[in-house]
Chains A and B, each alone.
Chain A
Amino acid sequence: MMILILGSISLLVLFTLYLTIGQYQLGFTDALSALAGYFGHLGSPADQLNGPEKVVGLIRLPRALAVIGVGIALSVAGAIMQAMIRNPLVDPYITGVSSGAALGATTVMISGITLMGLSAFAVPLAAFAGALLAFFFTMSLAEGSGGRSLNYVLAGIIVGTALSSIVNLMISIFPQDVHGVLFWLFGNFNSINWTQTALILIPALIVSVIALLYARELNVILLGHEQAYQLGVDSRKFRQWMMILSSVLTAVAVAFVGIIGFLGLIVPHIARIVVGGDHRLLLPASMIIGANVLLAADIVARTATTSELPVGAIISLIGAPFFGYLLIRRGKEYAG
């Protein structure tokens, strides 16, 4: 419980920091008054806002919320996957979702399809569709070969590798578009606006809440198939359902901001260290911690240099050594 309070406070602090730091120079109090000004003008067209209000209200605020949304989505997805596959080295992309999204995005970027009126959504839509399609292939392959956790892992590797190689092929055939594609693949929150934020945050929150409703079952599942069955949980059906939830969360995150790695892997571990393995505590803790971590990383990404750094790279930079440390410290727990 402590973690939720601490985490929320920390989140608030980071959130405020987020709104007041940026490429556009703004003092702390100026930023806060700009925020107030923005809310004061809610409902009226954007031309009523002055510069600071635009920056804080139309750039930083939606971006902060989107970051929180993605942080929550990836952390919950990761926690679910780790419970489903019963292996702590698993991240939400294990079912090939990231490769599918990359394929969708790359196809649109290279072919220049614009979907007419929906051109602003062309890439995210394609990425989302690609992600879900990849998961669908993985699930079909996994269920067709037995439906056990290992089947999902292997199927995910097969599908992920296959789709990645198609992406690589496309890049090598059309190298003139390589910049755009690579940039998308690295993951960034560069061009977030309110529409995208709404499309990220709302589904992320809703699906996370749905996952929370099944936290007890996630605990029971850890007993193994037979034991869970005897308690009344059909682990195979439940696994399918949870995999779908996790993939939707991951797809939503990846569609708009690209592939942000490590978050879904590390955050549930940190949460486990703090609150233990009971998913009724683990899931909310993962959400809070994930939001905090990503928010902090994006502040760095936005302000470290004049050109924006990809936030996924920053998380990996911090994440890899941290995870190595975790592995060494608590290695025996993972030896199973």
Chain B
Amino acid sequence: MNRKGIVAILVVAAMLVTAVVVVVSTQPSHTSSKGTIIDAYDRQVNITSTPKKIISVAPDITELVYALGAGQDLVGVTDYCDYPHDVVSRVENGTLKSIGGFYTPSAERIVNMTPDLVFVSAGVSSHRALVTQLEALDIKVIGLYDEVNISRVYDNIKLMGKVLDKQAQADQLVNDLSSTLSKIDAKVSAQTVKLRVMYVVWLSPLSVVGNGTSLNEMIQLAGGWNAFGNMQGWASPSLETLLTNDPDVILFSVMGGSQWDAEQLISDLSKDPIWNGTKAFQEGKVYMLKSQAANCFSRGGVRMTEAVQLLAEILYPQAFSAPSIPHSIGDEYRDYLTPLNALNTSALTVEVAGSVREVRG
């Protein structure tokens, strides 16, 4: 009954159990066979039949599913999924259910929907634990890549295409997107002066996108130059840096609802001598992105080209025959996206002024 002995035994037991549990739980699952997909987490997932009941755990994933033409196979989305409009109407009429929030999807609700497949994002840290949980529940999960740049977006399109057996649509989509980008590039690369763009994510503290973000890449694809490209990630420049870097165009992004009134904000800032000193304010090239306009920038994914185009039209309206873009853009942003095959002739300009929409999904 020596106490030290008991303690020693218990400690050893605890460590042993821990080791055993860890080893057992990290056993690689079944051997790979035909139909094995490697996902963004480097996991081997066996897809034996085309998934017909899909759950998406992120808004940009939802958009991708629709873009590949599998929107009707979705049974569950997050509370934040709101595009395309079909998502909203289906949630309203109950044919599409919510699985909860972006960071706290409810495993119970997911089980309730008996999905064939769940898509998560490797860019969201809390999704990793969800993957383990769903695996234990015997629900198939595929992790999509963190979309840090365009090529990752293409990777995700192809990955999802393979999983959903929509490879043809996936390839087509990749083609469409890259061709759109080439067309935009054709128009903007001719510009002699690259405009300096500032993309503001938050006002207090002042946060802008810097180098290494997907938004930075979008700015470049739109023919612009990131005024804060010398800073990394989401950077917080001082007001001095603002003056030094002197952006030509400023975009304010409001995610998830308009907290600021565009006119109010711009008028408030224009009273501030430092902001007012920037070229953007001087020349009135200040824009506010709201709701879906903001989303297509921040979510990226399949709408990334729309964001690039919108930005390119803001920067170089002379290269596009777009109608003048207002300072506050929201859900109606697509009205301002001109068809890129249009030549810059006045005849076609008339047609453009009407309601030409690009339909996808």
With a cutoff of 8 Å between Cβ atoms, the chain B residues found around residue A58 in the complex are: 136-137
B107 touches A213 (CB 8 A): no
CA of A138 to CA of B124, assembled, Å: 33
B136 touches A193 (CB 8 A): yes
A47 touches B138 (CB 8 A): yes
A193 touches B132 (CB 8 A): yes
CA of A117 to CA of B23, assembled, Å: 10
Interface residues on A, range: 35 or more
B41 touches A114 (CB 8 A): yes
With a cutoff of 8 Å between Cβ atoms, the chain A residues found around residue B11 in the complex are: 206, 210
> Which A249-308 residues have C-beta < 8 A from chain B?
306-308
B108 touches A193 (CB 8 A): no
State the majority secondary structure of interface residues on A.
helix
CA of A190 to CA of B134, assembled, Å: 12
Q: What mask results when residues 96 to 115 of chain B are scored 1 for a CB within 8 Å of chain A, else 0?
A: 00101111101111011010
CA of A191 to CA of B126, assembled, Å: 9
| A46 interface hit (Cβ, 8 Å) | yes
With a cutoff of 8 Å between Cβ atoms, the chain A residues found around residue B342 in the complex are: none
A123 touches B7 (CB 8 A): no
A180 touches B21 (CB 8 A): no
Given A202-B14, A210-B11: A194 and B126 within 8 A (CB)? no
Given A198-B17, A306-B100: A51 and B26 within 8 A (CB)? no
With a cutoff of 8 Å between Cβ atoms, the chain A residues found around residue B7 in the complex are: 210, 213
CA of A188 to CA of B109, assembled, Å: 17
CA of A303 to CA of B192, assembled, Å: 59
CA of A308 to CA of B102, assembled, Å: 11
CA of A42 to CA of B13, assembled, Å: 24
With a cutoff of 8 Å between Cβ atoms, the chain B residues found around residue A172 in the complex are: 205, 236
CA of A202 to CA of B20, assembled, Å: 12
Quote the shortest CB–CB distance from A128 to chain B (angstroms). 10
CA of A308 to CA of B136, assembled, Å: 21
CA of A307 to CA of B138, assembled, Å: 23
Quote the shortest CB–CB distance from B215 to chain A (angstroms). 10
Contacting B133 at CB < 8 Å: which of A177, A191, A199? Answer: A191
With a cutoff of 8 Å between Cβ atoms, the chain A residues found around residue B136 in the complex are: 46, 58, 193-195
What total count of A-B pairs have CB within 8 Å?
141
B207 touches A120 (CB 8 A): no
Contacting A180 at CB < 8 Å: which of B26, B103, B233? Answer: B103
A210 touches B10 (CB 8 A): yes
> Which A143-180 residues have C-beta < 8 A from chain B?
172-177, 179-180
B138 touches A46 (CB 8 A): yes
With a cutoff of 8 Å between Cβ atoms, the chain B residues found around residue A194 in the complex are: 136
| B240 interface hit (Cβ, 8 Å) | no
| A203 interface hit (Cβ, 8 Å) | yes
Quote the shortest CB–CB distance from A69 to chain B (angstroms). 13
Q: What mask results when residues 146 to 165 of chain B are scored 1 for a CB within 8 Å of chain A, else 0?
A: 10000000000000000000
| B129 interface hit (Cβ, 8 Å) | yes
CA of A51 to CA of B137, assembled, Å: 9
CB-nearest residue of chain B to A51: B111
Q: What mask results when residues 187 to 229 of chain A are scored 1 for a CB within 8 Å of chain B, else 0?
A: 0101111110011001100110110010000000000000000
Given A54-B137, A174-B233, A306-B100: A203 and B132 within 8 A (CB)? no
A176 touches B41 (CB 8 A): no
Q: What mask results when residues 302 to 342 of chain B are scored 1 for a CB within 8 Å of chain A, else 0?
A: 00000000000000000000000000000000000000000
With a cutoff of 8 Å between Cβ atoms, the chain B residues found around residue A22 in the complex are: 108
Given A123-B125, A213-B3: A193 and B14 within 8 A (CB)? no
CA of A307 to CA of B100, assembled, Å: 5
Quote the shortest CB–CB distance from A1 to chain B (angstroms). 23
With a cutoff of 8 Å between Cβ atoms, the chain A residues found around residue B42 in the complex are: 114, 116, 119
| B6 interface hit (Cβ, 8 Å) | yes
Given A183-B126, A191-B130: A207 and B14 within 8 A (CB)? yes
B18 touches A183 (CB 8 A): no
CA of A49 to CA of B114, assembled, Å: 12
CB-nearest residue of chain A to B112: A24
A195 touches B25 (CB 8 A): yes
With a cutoff of 8 Å between Cβ atoms, the chain A residues found around residue B112 in the complex are: 23-25, 51, 55
A120 touches B138 (CB 8 A): no
With a cutoff of 8 Å between Cβ atoms, the chain B residues found around residue A59 in the complex are: 107-108, 111, 133, 137
CA of A37 to CA of B79, assembled, Å: 32
A120 touches B129 (CB 8 A): yes
A45 touches B138 (CB 8 A): yes
With a cutoff of 8 Å between Cβ atoms, the chain B residues found around residue A328 in the complex are: none
A177 touches B21 (CB 8 A): no
With a cutoff of 8 Å between Cβ atoms, the chain B residues found around residue A193 in the complex are: 132-133, 136
Given A23-B106, A121-B22: A190 and B132 within 8 A (CB)? no
CA of A191 to CA of B127, assembled, Å: 9
A24 touches B108 (CB 8 A): yes
What are the 4 A-B residue pairs with the smallest beta carbon separation, nearest first? A46-B138, A191-B129, A180-B125, A24-B108
List 22 A-B residue pairs with CB atoms under 8 Å apart, sorted by A's residue number.
Answer: A47-B138, A49-B138, A55-B111, A58-B136, A59-B111, A112-B146, A114-B42, A118-B22, A120-B26, A121-B26, A174-B234, A176-B234, A180-B124, A183-B126, A188-B104, A190-B129, A191-B130, A191-B132, A195-B136, A203-B18, A206-B14, A307-B104
Which residues of B pack against A, CB within 8 Å? Answer: 3, 6-7, 10-11, 13-14, 17-18, 21-22, 25-26, 28, 41-42, 79, 98, 100-104, 106-109, 111-112, 114, 124-126, 128-133, 136-138, 146, 202, 205, 207, 213, 233-234, 236
Task: Known A-B contacts: A51-B114, A195-B132. Give 12 more (CB < 8 A).
Answer: A24-B112, A59-B107, A59-B108, A123-B125, A123-B128, A175-B234, A180-B124, A190-B107, A191-B126, A202-B17, A210-B7, A213-B6
